[in-house]
């Protein structure tokens, strides 16, 4: 079996690490991959955006049996449809289904139609309409703080919580007129701000069935105590504690209506579905869908799954997920991200990374690379998020201690990380 994994972050490194546990997997290609991935897969340059036929040709020429798509971009622009048309096996949802992440308006309308609890929202299609809405805010049920969201994909930056009218007007102008997110901000959503604890629920979905994975929590802010700007994620923990009744509620009011909604809309969803959930005083609400594995959640979820990943993915593709029984290890995984100084703003790269050999092959420690490259046998930084250090253990405390003990062996110039993941 030959597999291509598209993407090059910690998520993709974790996916490749897990796939490698299956002896049937003879060779893995990764495009573009990273320094750490290059130790276990053959790196191929990334094809130009939207040039999915180049990947088709690559897959044919290398006789690759299965392609797995990590990030949302290729899914939203239809890579799965192109592959399916050529009868090539691929893991991920179609373009139509990927709108659940690619268009927040599509996602919110889907939730409203199918009774999935989510914040009240208003779709605004033009700048004038948006200003008008703000001017008449007192006549509506909405009030500050207001959440303003660009409709399309904006690399995780398209959600802004506004405290004042002035802020709201500014961000609406930036999205809809200055187009800071390009076409993604052509239309926007305004919605109520929800309060509570956030949890990420990921599930495999074959269109007929869902198999839920251990719940995870992502630490989005750059600095300790949830201070500083939002990032792609500075750490994660799984499982994130939920009570039996919270899980039942999520299944009954979110997962079941979601599946029914797919079927009613004839959406043939095959892949991973990620529910970003806020546990509010009035119950669990969906903040967003992602149509792929989360990063950095995957780095703590996959080490807890005993079942073979390839087997599950094949079952998703052939719509036989009901036959899979997922075995989950009774452990906790904690991951801290080592980032370049300045991330998520400007940062320097090309710093040599020291200490990696000290944590290699150590029990209860995993290291998934993100922004790294390998040159002459040495690793250097090449991105904002550089490494994910994962500690495993029988308890949250043990997993956290293992994570931070391993982290203390690693260094590069001006390394930045949070000291309070899983605290």
Which of 45, 183 has the CB closer to ligand AMP? 183
CB-CB neighbours of 292 under 10 Å: 27
Could you say which of 34, 103, 285, 290 contacts ligand GLY (CB under 6 A)?
290
Could you say which of 12, 151, 206, 295 contacts ligand GLY (CB under 6 A)?
295
Which of 17, 121 has the CB closer to ligand AMP? 121
Residues that bind ligand AMP (CB under 6 A): 119, 147, 159, 191, 193-194, 198, 276, 287-288
206 binds, among ligand AMP, ligand GLY, none (CB under 5 to 8 A by kind): none
Which two three-digit tokens encode residue 109?
């309308």
| Residue closest to ligand AMP, measured at CB | 288
**What is the closest distance, in whole angstroms, from the C-beta atom of residue 295 to ligand GLY in the complex?**
5
Q: What angle do CA 276, 281, 285 make, to 5 degrees?
A: 25
Which of 112, 248 has the CB closer to ligand AMP? 112
72 binds, among ligand GLY, ligand AMP, none (CB under 5 to 8 A by kind): none
Three-class SS state of 381: strand
Closest to 261 (Cα-Cα) out of 113, 117, 99: 113
Contact indicator for 159, 182 with CB cutoff of 8 Å: no
Which of 191, 295 has the CB closer to ligand GLY? 295
**What is the closest distance, in whole angstroms, from the C-beta atom of residue 12 to ligand GLY in the complex?**
12
Q: By rule CB under 6 A, what string of x and - marks binding of each residue 145-164 to ligand GLY?
A: -----------x--------
Residue 135 burial (10 A CB sphere; 0-12, 13-18, 19+):
exposed
**Could you tell me the strand order of the sheet in which 283-290 lies?**
210-212, 197-205, 271-280, 283-290
Which of 17, 275 has the CB closer to ligand GLY? 275
Which of 12, 72 has the CB closer to ligand AMP? 72
Radius of gyration for the alpha carbons in the chain, expressed in angstroms and rounded: 21
416 binds, among ligand GLY, ligand AMP, none (CB under 5 to 8 A by kind): none
Query: β-strands 146-150, 221-223: how paired?
Result: unpaired
Which two three-digit tokens encode residue 328?
């989950």
CA distance 392 to 201: 20
Sign of CA dihedral 297, 299, 303, 305: positive
Which of 288, 308 has the CB closer to ligand GLY? 288
Beta bridge mates, 122: 190
**What is the closest distance, in whole angstroms, from the C-beta atom of residue 236 to ligand GLY in the complex?**
7
271 binds, among ligand AMP, ligand GLY, none (CB under 5 to 8 A by kind): none
Long-range contacts of 243-248, Cβ-Cβ distance < 8 Å, separation of 24 or more: 246/279, 246/284, 247/215
Q: What angle do CA 47, 53, 56 make, to 5 degrees?
A: 90
Three-class SS state of 213: coil
Which of 198, 265 has the CB closer to ligand AMP? 198
Query: β-strands 90-91, 66-69: how paired?
Result: parallel
297 binds, among ligand AMP, ligand GLY, none (CB under 5 to 8 A by kind): ligand GLY
CA distance 270 to 94: 8
Which of 276, 355 has the CB closer to ligand AMP? 276
CA distance 108 to 60: 38
**What is the closest distance, in whole angstroms, from the C-beta atom of residue 344 to ligand GLY in the complex?**
13
Could you say which of 78, 117, 152, 233 contacts ligand GLY (CB under 6 A)?
233
Q: Give the torsion through C-alpha atoms of 401, 366, 74, 177, to 10 deg.
A: 30
Q: How many residues bind ligand GLY (CB under 6 A)?
A: 7
137 binds, among ligand AMP, ligand GLY, none (CB under 5 to 8 A by kind): none
288 binds, among ligand GLY, ligand AMP, none (CB under 5 to 8 A by kind): ligand AMP
Q: By rule CB under 6 A, what string of x and - marks binding of each residue 195-224 to ligand GLY?
A: -----------------------x------
Residue 163 burial (10 A CB sphere; 0-12, 13-18, 19+):
exposed
**What is the closest distance, in whole angstroms, from the C-beta atom of residue 293 to ligand GLY in the complex?**
7
Is there binding between residue 9 and ligand GLY (CB under 6 A)? Answer: no
287 binds, among ligand GLY, ligand AMP, none (CB under 5 to 8 A by kind): ligand AMP
Which of 7, 233 has the CB closer to ligand GLY? 233
Which residues bind to ligand GLY, rule: CB under 6 A?
Answer: 156, 218, 233, 290, 294-295, 297
């Amino acid at each position: 079996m030959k597999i291509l994994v598209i993407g090059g972050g910690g998520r993709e490194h974790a996916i490749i690490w897990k796939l490698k546990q299956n002896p049937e997997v003879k060779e893995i290609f990764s495009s573009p991959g990273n320094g750490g991935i290059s130790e276990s897969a053959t790196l191929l340059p990334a094809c130009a955006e939207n040039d999915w036929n180049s990947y088709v040709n690559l897959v044919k020429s290398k006789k690759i049996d299965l392609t797995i798509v990590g990030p949302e971009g290729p899914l939203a622009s239809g890579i799965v449809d192109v592959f399916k048309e050529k009868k090539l096996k691929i893991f991920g949802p179609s373009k139509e289904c990927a709108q659940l992440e690619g268009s927040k308006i599509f996602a919110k309308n889907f939730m409203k139609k199918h009774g999935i609890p989510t914040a009240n929202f208003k779709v605004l299609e033009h700048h004038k309409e948006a200003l008008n809405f703000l001017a008449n805010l007192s006549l509506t049920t909405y009030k500050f703080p207001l959440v303003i969201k660009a409709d399309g994909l904006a690399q995780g930056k398209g959600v802004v919580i506004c405290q004042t009218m002035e802020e709201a007007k500014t961000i609406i102008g930036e999205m809809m007129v200055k187009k800071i997110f390009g076409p993604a901000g052509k239309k926007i959503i305004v919605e109520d701000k929800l309060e509570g604890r956030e949890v990420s629920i990921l599930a495999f979905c074959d269109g007929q069935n869902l198999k839920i994975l251990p719940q995870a929590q992502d630490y989005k802010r750059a600095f300790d105590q949830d201070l500083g700007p939002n990032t792609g994620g500075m750490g994660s923990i799984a499982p994130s504690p939920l009570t039996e009744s919270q899980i039942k509620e999520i299944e009954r009011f979110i997962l079941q209506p979601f599946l029914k909604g797919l079927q009613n809309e004839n959406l043939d969803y095959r892949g991973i579905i990620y529910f970003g959930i806020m546990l509010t005083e009035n119950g669990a609400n969906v903040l967003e869908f992602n149509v792929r594995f989360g990063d950095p959640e995957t780095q703590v979820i996959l080490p807890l799954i005993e079942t073979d990943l390839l087997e599950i993915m094949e079952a998703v593709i052939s719509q036989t997920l009901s036959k899979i029984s997922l075995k989950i290890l009774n452990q906790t995984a904690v991951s801290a991200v080592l980032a370049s100084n300045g991330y998520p703003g400007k940062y320097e790269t090309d710093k040599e990374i020291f200490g990696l050999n000290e944590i290699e092959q150590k029990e209860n420690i995993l290291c998934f690379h993100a922004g790294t490259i390998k040159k002459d046998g040495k690793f250097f930084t090449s991105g904002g998020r550089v490494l994910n250090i994962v500690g495993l253990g029988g308890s949250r405390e043990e997993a956290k201690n293992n994570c931070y003990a391993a982290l203390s062996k690693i260094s590069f110039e001006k390394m930045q990380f949070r000291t309070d993941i899983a605290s």
